[in-house]
Amino acid sequence: MKYYSSLLLLFALGISACSNTPSSTNNEPSNQDAAAVQEPLKTADAGNELKIEWAQNAKVAVAYLGGYASFEKFKGDGRYEKMAEDIAILKNFNGFTVDAQGYETYLIVPRDAQAKVVVSEFTMEMATKEKAEDSGATYYKSENGSPILVKGNISEICPNMKITITNSNGETIKFQPQLSMENGKLSCVEGMQDFSPAAAYQVTGSPVGE
């Protein structure tokens, strides 16, 4: 019982240290700009670029790609070329779809090409049920099942984004992309499939470019 209480305290403290407003610099596109200039990458049209062997119950595939201070640092990192060999669709992105405060970078791929995708803020008040789960600001919205590239989370105890995917048959999955405090790997919920490249975890210390 003490163990779970300690985890809850760490989670609450971590969330309180986070700012949930997406950030951008003069050299980087804002969330809206990035979504506007990016060509839609429909799941159904991506073909072998995705290289995902879907599990029977999977509704979304998520890849953790490492920690980066900016999109430029992500593309300039030596591990990027290796990851893009395994997930060629990475080469088609020209910016983060959502650039929230934090460093963890994730590729989100809905299984249903007609899925509705919403990325919204996730706050401490939502985690503690002081505010409604769906009360956060919307960072991104799509109705064509396009894969997205998101950055956020100051640490594994500080998720600041929520992904909501609603398939064309009405099935919905909601999750905060984050790393597990148990083993440092991607934390998965039911219906979520991990296809993180091994190269993403081959880094220690500060995020690239900090």
* CA 35 to each of CA 40, 101, 121, 126, 168: distance values in angstroms, whole numbers, following the listed order: 9, 17, 17, 26, 22
Per-residue pLDDT for the chain (210 aa), expressed as one digit of tens each?
A: 433 334 333 444 343 333 344 543 333 333 443 333 334 444 444 444 566 889 999 999 999 999 999 999 999 999 999 999 889 899 989 999 999 999 999 999 999 999 999 999 887 776 777 777 776 789 999 999 999 999 998 766 778 899 999 999 999 999 999 998 888 899 999 999 999 998 888 766 678 877
Cα three-residue angle 149-145-77, rounded to 5 degrees: 15
DSSP state of 192: E
Per the DSSP assignment, residues forming a β-bridge with 13 are: none
Q: State the Cα–Cα distance between residues 163 and 190, nearest whole angstrom.
A: 14
Q: H or E stretch including 100?
A: strand 98-102
